[in-house]
Amino acid sequence: MRKFTLPLAIMLAVVVVFALLMNANDGAAPAKFESQDDHAATHTMGDPIVRDVVVSTGAGVHIDPASLPAPGAINEWAEIRTVETASTDEQTRVRITYQVFYGVRGPETAELPPLRLRFEGDGGSPDVEAPALPVSVMPLIPPGIPDEKVAIRALRPAEPRTYSPYPQWLALGLGAFGAGLVYLMWMRGLLPPFAGPLPFRRASRELQRLANQPSPGRAACLVLHRALNETAGEAVFASGLEAFLDRHPEFGRLRGTLVEFFASSRRLFFEDGSDGEAYALCLKLARQARRLERRTS
């Protein structure tokens, strides 16, 4: 009895140590396989299959990218569309998206091939193999129906999209555009009911009409005086020019021309009646004032 007991105990010890060593190895790189297939258990041609392989790893261990499968056809009925990896200190997740191109006449079972992933790190790590994944494939056409009798499946309706923010943005944009347009038209006097008085714009038009008259200086001065008075809301005289410019600083740059205009008007109406270049001066002043008036009205 003792003769057999010692060798048996030694063998048992070796087996236990070996088993412990195997367990130790398994703990260093355990593999957890997941198959996330939102198309239930069966697939038809064209369905995607998402497979997640999660590998627990130790610190300093990382997957060898060369061991990852490359996108493309893997056999006559399936291909890999995408391969994505995400690693942390404790685990590495490999997500592979397959697509089925298997046309069958009746239900069949096929297999996605196993995966062999290689890890590198301090002390090295063994390869991890994910087993083959069985896939049930169903025909697109129910069995037993001749092709000509097959009712063509209705077109897939467009996916409903949420437009909720767009109408608001659209309304806001249109509103801003409309307001800008109205403002622009108002500034340029293209909205008569709301344009307000634009005396120099009107004066410019009236002066254009005077161009063909034999001696338009007097009439031109009158037109411009009216425009000035209308702009000021009161009669403007030469002595009141500075007060006018204080109230309407937009015409400040015309001070010199305005002084010249009042001097010309004084000669014309109160002194010797000499016309001189009154018309040209009025035309020039009206054009300049009209431009300034547009920007400020």
Partner 1 sequence: MSADLKQTQLADWRQRALGFEREVGKAVIGLDQPIRHILIAVFARGHVMLEGDVGVGKTTLLRAVARCLGGAYERVEGTIDLMPNDLVYHTYINEFGKPQVDPGPVLKHGEDLSVFFFNEVNRARPQVHSLLLRIMAEHAVSAFNREHFFPYLQVFADRNRVEKEETFEIPSAARDRFMMELHIETPADPALRRALMFDPKFHDVDRLLDTLTPGLLPYREIPQIAPVIQQSVAASETLQQYALDLWEATRRPAGYGVKLDGIDMDRLILAGASARGVSMMMRAARVAAWLDGREFVVPEDIHGVFRETIAHRVFFNPVYELRRTALIDELLDAIRQRVAAP
Q: Is 221 in the site for partner 1 (CB under 8 A)?
A: yes
**Smallest distance from partner 1 to CB 212, Å:** 22
- Binding test (CB under 8 A) with partner 1, winner from 235, 246, 249, 256: 235
Residue type at position 292: L
Judged by CB under 8 A, which stretch of 11-19, 73-81, 176-184, 269-277 contacts partner 1?
269-277
Judged by CB under 8 A, which stretch of 96-104, 128-136, 177-185, 230-238 contacts partner 1?
230-238
Smallest CA-to-CA distance from 95 within 54, 43, 144 is with 54
Q: Is 220 in the site for partner 1 (CB under 8 A)?
A: no
- Binding test (CB under 8 A) with partner 1, winner from 84, 127, 271, 277: 271
Q: Is 270 in the site for partner 1 (CB under 8 A)?
A: yes
Residue partners of 63: CB distance under 8 A and separation at least 6: 55, 85, 87, 92, 94, 117, 118, 119, 120
- Binding test (CB under 8 A) with partner 1, winner from 12, 17, 171, 238: 238
**Smallest distance from partner 1 to CB 234, Å:** 4
What Cα–Cα distance (Å) separates residue 46 from each residue in 138, 150, 186? Answer: 11, 19, 61
Residue partners of 66: CB distance under 8 A and separation at least 6: 118
Return d(Cα 119, Cα 91) in angstroms, integer. 11
- Binding test (CB under 8 A) with partner 1, winner from 191, 222, 245, 292: 222
What Cα–Cα distance (Å) separates residue 253 from each residue in 141, 223, 250, 258? Answer: 85, 21, 7, 9
Site string for partner 1, 179-218 (x = CB under 8 A): ----------------------------------------
How many residues in the shown chain lie near partner 1 by CB under 8 A?
16
What tokens were used for 199? 């005396």
Q: Is 229 in the site for partner 1 (CB under 8 A)?
A: yes
User: Do 208 and 284 contact (CB within 8 A), yes or no?
Assistant: no
- Residues in contact with partner 1 by CB under 8 A are 221-222, 225-226, 229, 234-235, 237-239, 265-266, 269-271, 273
